[in-house]
Amino acid sequence: MSDLPRVARLYVVAVLLAALIAGMAGVLLAPPRLALAPIALLLLLCATIAQQFKVKSPKHQSYYTTTIFFFAAATLLHPGYVVVIVLVAHAVEWLRVRTRWYIQAFNMANFLLCSIAAGAIFGLGESGHANGRAVLFAALAGVAFVGLNHLLTALVITWARGVRISRAGTLDWENVGTDLALMSVGALGSLLWLTNPWLVPLCIGPLFLIYRSLLVPSLREQARTDPKTELANMKHWNQLAQAEVERARRFGRPLSVVLADFDLLRDVNNRHGHLVGDLMIRRVADAIRAAVREYDVPARFGGDEFAILMPETTLAEAMAVAERIRRGVESIVLNIADGSSPAATVSVGVALFPGHGRTASDLLAAADRAVYQAKALGRNRVCAFADPDAESLRLIRIPTAARREAS
């Protein structure tokens, strides 16, 4: 845990100790009963399998349907069984996908605390069969389970990454609502088990639908993303650009479009092969992603071109970001097998709404012409769009280093 800030390390240790104490207390106060072993084994098997099927959202949040089985175990079983189910499910996942040990240990402790708390709340209203009181306390237990789980996770993200708790992501309604839906299936399964165990398979349908729905945001993101660079694709970029241009027109706000063209990609492909060329494209995309601001929208425009939409951005501000992109690409160092290190540069054009174009396509065309102006001046530079009849070109910087001959 040496890579974590001190406050995050202390927090992780505190959660681990709390889970250890709660688990031991639960086992001592309510020892496992052998009669519950069959259902414990069934939930252990289901939880272990479900834990292997992670769904990752576009916002880098991970969802597991395991919540259903952890909550069912918390409401139906004694704490000793719950401890085993949580530990085994996570241990099997860790053997398959090795992460830092303290991350998996924190996840185990988190779910142990949530499960024990939920089980204690449900136990207050347990009557041995499903009635109104049992439904009420199952709902309260589910809310406690999800709320505590998300709070503990939000705190560790806040202290580990140094962000505000509101930006941790785990307290967003989208995330909380998804886990509440999963918990409700677990609660339904528990209540059905208390009523008639043969009704429990009816939960399979909702579980399948929830799992499929979790995949929808990822599929939507894939449809918007260029697979090679993981930047936006141009279909998605055009949709956003049209909306932003309309907003800029309505409220009289500035907006800029930047187009960056990777210089001499053909030479890289011919000399080092297309695999190296593809790797360079990805490295250029990484440099662009690192240089732009949070609200800018970078996209892969074509084979070796990248478009960046910059809302609320004046020409001077866009030129500054474009220069940052140029410098970032110029600093790329890629050592390949033959010992050579191909150079990477971009020629960048900038266009401003509405002076250089009143539609997204007009702005792209103006930025594209500015790219040609930059290439005509020797490449590896940033140019703002200039009217073709203008006597001079607007240039931000002309490096003194020797340039390759134009192709």
Full DSSP string of 20-85: HHHHHHHHHHS---GGGHHHHHHHHHHHHHHTT--EE-TTS-EE-THHHHHHHHHHHS-HHHHHHH
Average pLDDT over residues 382-395: 62
**DSSP state for residue 17 in the 8-state scheme:** H
Percent of the chain at pLDDT above 70?
Answer: 91
Average pLDDT over residues 9-21: 93
Let me know if 291 is exposed, middle or buried by CB neighbors in 10 A (0-12, 13-18, 19+). Answer: buried
* Predicted pLDDT of residue 296: 94
* Predicted pLDDT of residue 130: 61
The reported pTM is 0.62
Average pLDDT over residues 160-171: 78
* Predicted pLDDT of residue 400: 38
Tens digit of each residue's pLDDT (9 = 90 or more) over 318-335: 999 999 999 999 999 888
Average pLDDT over residues 137-163: 89
Q: How far apart are CA 60 and CA 57, in angstroms?
A: 5
Percent of the chain at pLDDT above 90?
Answer: 45
- Peptide bond connecting 217 to the previous residue in cis, omega within 30 degrees of 0: no
Let me know if 181 is exposed, middle or buried by CB neighbors in 10 A (0-12, 13-18, 19+). Answer: middle
| CA 168 to the chain's CA centroid | 11
* Predicted pLDDT of residue 393: 41
Tens digit of each residue's pLDDT (9 = 90 or more) over 282-301: 999 999 999 998 899 999 98
* Predicted pLDDT of residue 406: 33
Average pLDDT over residues 377-391: 77
* Predicted pLDDT of residue 126: 67
Q: Which residue has the tokens 């991970």?
A: 62
Paired tokens of 313? 């951005």
Residue 134: count of CB within 10 angstroms of its CB? 21
Tens digit of each residue's pLDDT (9 = 90 or more) over 65-82: 888 899 999 999 988 899
Instruction: Name which residue leads in pLDDT, 304 or 169.
Output: 304
* Predicted pLDDT of residue 127: 58
Band of residue 128 on the pLDDT scale cut at 50, 70, 90: low
Q: Residue 366: pLDDT above 70?
A: yes
Q: Which residue has the tokens 């000793």?
A: 80
Q: How far apart are CA 307 and CA 234, in angstroms?
A: 8
Average pLDDT over residues 107-113: 93
* Predicted pLDDT of residue 310: 96
Min mean pLDDT across 11-15, 16-20, 301-305, 313-317 is at 301-305
* Predicted pLDDT of residue 21: 94
* Predicted pLDDT of residue 88: 93
Average pLDDT over residues 122-129: 72
Q: How far apart are CA 3 and CA 160, in angstroms?
A: 9
Q: How far apart are CA 155 and CA 61, in angstroms?
A: 15
Tens digit of each residue's pLDDT (9 = 90 or more) over 176-225: 888 888 888 888 888 888 888 888 888 888 888 877 777 776 777 778 88
HSE of 199 in the Cβ direction (CA atoms, 13 Å)?
Answer: 11
Domains of the chain with CATH codes: 6-224 (1.10.1760.20), 234-395 (3.30.70.270)
> CB–CB of 292/298 below 8 Å?
yes
Q: How far apart are CA 131 and CA 114, in angstroms?
A: 24
* Predicted pLDDT of residue 215: 72
Q: Which segment, 159-163, 269-273, 357-361, is predicted with the most confidence on average?
A: 357-361
Tens digit of each residue's pLDDT (9 = 90 or more) over 27-56: 888 777 778 888 999 999 999 998 888 776
Three-state DSSP at 167 gives helix
- Mean pLDDT, the chain, rounded, equals 85
